[in-house]
Amino acid sequence: MESYKMLTDNSSNTYIIGATGKTVVINQITSDNDCNKINLSLNQKYIDCVSINSCVYFLSQISNISTPCLEITMYNFIDNSISSFQIDNISTSGKYSFAVNSNGNMYFLDNRYHSTVSCYNSNGSYIYRTTLPEAINQLFTSTNGETVFAATNDRIFSSSSNDSTFTTFLSQKLQSPIYVTQDDIFADYNGTAVSSENDFPTFTTSISSSNTNVGIAKNYFCRTANGKIYGYNKYNGKQVLLYTLDEPQDYMCSVDNKIILFSVNSCICTTIDKGDLSYPQPATAPPSSSQSSNSSANNSSSNNNSITSDVYYIDNDSFMIKNVKSGTTIAQFKSKLKYSSLSVAFTNYENTVVTSGNLGTGATASFIKNGSIIAKYTIIVTGDLTGEGNVNSRDTKALSAYLLGKSSLSPYFLEAADCNLNGNVDTVDLLKISKKSI
C-alpha cells in the first residue's frame, strides 16, 4: 500500500485504511475486537477518507471533465452497501479538507476559496456555503460527530450539525492536521494537546508524529514512540511510561477501554486494554513539587506529615480526593482523613471560604502547617456535576447534555461523572446518577 490512515468513529469502531491508486483496503476493528476486511476499487484515485456512523467516506477528484468536481464513495458496514455520488464545483487542487457529521452532511474546503466552507447533504445535494474571517487549514468533527470544526492558523471555529454559523470555539494555535480524542481534547501531530476547558492546561509533549498517534487513558493523554506508550497527565503535562511494546508502532488511537496500535512494517494491529497500562501508584503524601494548578501549595520539601484516608482515594498525581459521597459535610469529610500535625481549610466550587455544610465537586481542601499551605487538593463528589454537593436532577441533566454532545463538562466534573470508576463516562453512569444510586 502507498499510504495508510487510522480512523475512529462515533460507533466505537476503528478503521485502518490502506490505499494504492484506486484500490483501498478497509480493516474495521469493532468494539468486540472483530476485524472486518473489505477490498474496494474506486472509480477515481484515492485522495483521503473519514469515518462516521459505521461508514467510511472516500474522497476522489474527477479528472476527465473541465469543471472541478469530486466523487465521494461511501462504504456502509451496517448493511455492506456501497454508494457513490458527485460533488460539483469543488476542487482538491492544492489545499483541501473534508468532514462528515453524524447526520451525513458533508463539509468541504475548496482551495480556490481558502476561507469558505461548502456543505452538502448525504445525497450530495448542495445545502449552503459560508465564509469565515480567516483562511481555513482543516475541517474535522467532534468524536460524536455532532459538531463541525474549522481550524485556522490562530483558532478553531465550530458549528452545530443544524447550523450554518461558525463561531470561535477555541483560541489556540495548533498545526494541522488536528486529531480529536475521546474526551474532545484537541491534539496536533507536533505533540501539542489542548482542551476548551479552562482548568485543562495546554502542553506540548516531547513526541511528534506524522501519523495518528493519540489516545486517552484515565487522566493521561497518550502517545507512542520507540516501542513504548507514554502518558502525559491531563492536569499538569507530566510524562510517565505506561507500557512497553514488542515492537515500535506507527499509529495509535483509543476507543472506549482500548488502546489500538498499527505497525506498517508488520501490518499487524495490536489491541491493549487500558487496565493493563502501568499507571503511577498514588503516594501517601504529596510529592515535593508539581506543575499542576495547585503546584504552589503542593511544594512541600521533607514533609513527613502524611495525608491518608481509609475511605477516600487520594490522588497525588492530579491532587484530587475522590470517592466522596453525595451529601458529605465538612465535619464528616475531616473525620475520614488522617492528617496529624496539620490544620485544614476549605473553599467551595465558587472559591469562597467555607467552614460548614456540604462539600461539592470542585471544592478544595488546603492543608496547613505553621501558617503555610503545604498541600491543596480538589474534592470530587461522586455524581455531583454542579458543585452543589448533592446528586439531583440537575446532575442528570448535565450528564445527559454532555453525552448528547450539547454541552461540555470540566475535567473535575468528568471525574465526578465516572460513578463506577472504570475510567469512562457513559450511559451506565447516567443511570446511576438518575437513580441516585451512588
pLDDT tens digit at each of 438 positions of the chain: 899 999 999 999 999 999 999 999 999 999 888 899 999 999 999 999 999 999 999 999 887 667 778 999 999 999 999 999 999 878 766 678 999 999 999 999 977 788 999 999 998 999 999 999 999 999 999 988 999 999 999 899 999 877 899 999 888 788 888 988 866 788 988 888 887 665 566 778 888 888 999 999 988 899 999 999 999 887 667 788 999 999 999 999 999 899 999 999 999 999 999 999 998 764 333 333 333 444 445 544 334 347 888 889 898 888 899 999 999 999 999 999 988 888 999 998 877 889 999 999 999 999 988 888 888 899 999 999 989 899 998 899 999 989 998 888 888 899 999 988 777 898 889 988 987 744
Pick the last residue of a domain from 280, 312, 342: 280
The answer to whether residues 418 and 374 belong to one domain is: yes
Which pLDDT score, from 0 to 100, does residue 59 have? 95
Please report, for the domain that includes residue 307, its CATH number.
Answer: 1.10.1330.10
Rounded Cα distance, 381 and 324, in Å: 5
Q: Please state, in angstroms and rounded to a whole number, the distance separating the CA atoms of residues 95 and 93.
A: 6
Is 194 inside any structural domain? yes
Q: How many angstroms separate the CA atoms of 406 and 139, rounded?
A: 20
H or E element, residue 347: strand 343-347
Locate 252 and state its grid cell: 495509535
Number of domains in the chain: 2
Count of CB atoms within 10 A of residue 82's CB? 12
Q: Cα(96)–Cα(114) distance, rounded to whole angstroms?
A: 9
Q: Which sign, positive or negative, has the C-alpha torsion 206, 148, 258, 385?
A: positive
Alpha carbon 386 to its chain's center: 21
Q: Tell me the three cell numbers of residue 152.
A: 485556522
What pLDDT shows up at residue 289? Answer: 34
DSSP 146: -
- Compute the distance between CA of residue 254 and CA of residue 257 in angstroms, rounded to an integer: 8
267 and 310 inside one domain: no
pLDDT in the model for residue 200: 61
CA atoms within 13 A on the CB side of 329: 6
The count of C-alpha atoms lying within 13 angstroms of the C-alpha of 405, restricted to the half-sphere facing its C-beta, is 17
Residues 269 and 333 grouped into a single domain = no
How far, in Å, CA of 61 to CA of 392, rounded? 53
Q: State phi, psi for 399 to the nearest 5 degrees.
A: -70, -40
If we measure between CA atoms, which residue out of 6, 45, 2, 41 comes closest to residue 20?
Answer: 2
Q: What is the pLDDT of residue 379?
A: 95
- The residue written with cell numbers 489491541 in the block is 271
Q: What is the pLDDT of residue 180?
A: 87
Q: What's the pLDDT at 300?
A: 44
pLDDT of residue 408: 81
The pair phi, psi for residue 295, each rounded to 5°, is -65, -35
Sheet architecture: strand order including 313-315: 313-315, 320-324, 372-381, 364-369, 343-347, 353-354
C-alpha cell at 322: 475522590
Last residue of a domain, one of 240, 265, 280: 280
Same domain, 270 and 288: no
In angstroms, rounded to a whole number, what is the distance separating the alpha carbons of residues 101 and 120?
A: 11
Domain residue limits at 404: 282-438
Which of 248, 280, 312 is the C-terminal boundary of a domain?
280
**At what angle are helices 427-434 and 393-403 packed, to 10 degrees?**
170
What does the pLDDT read at residue 350? 77
159 half-sphere exposure, CB direction, 13 A CA radius? 24
Task: Provide the pLDDT for residue 303.
Answer: 44
Query: Are 202 and 304 found together in one domain?
Result: no
* Domain co-membership, 344 together with 408: yes
Report the C-alpha gap between 167 and 148 in whole angstroms: 11
Q: What pLDDT, on the 0 to 100 scale, is given for residue 298? A: 54
Residue 304's pLDDT is 32
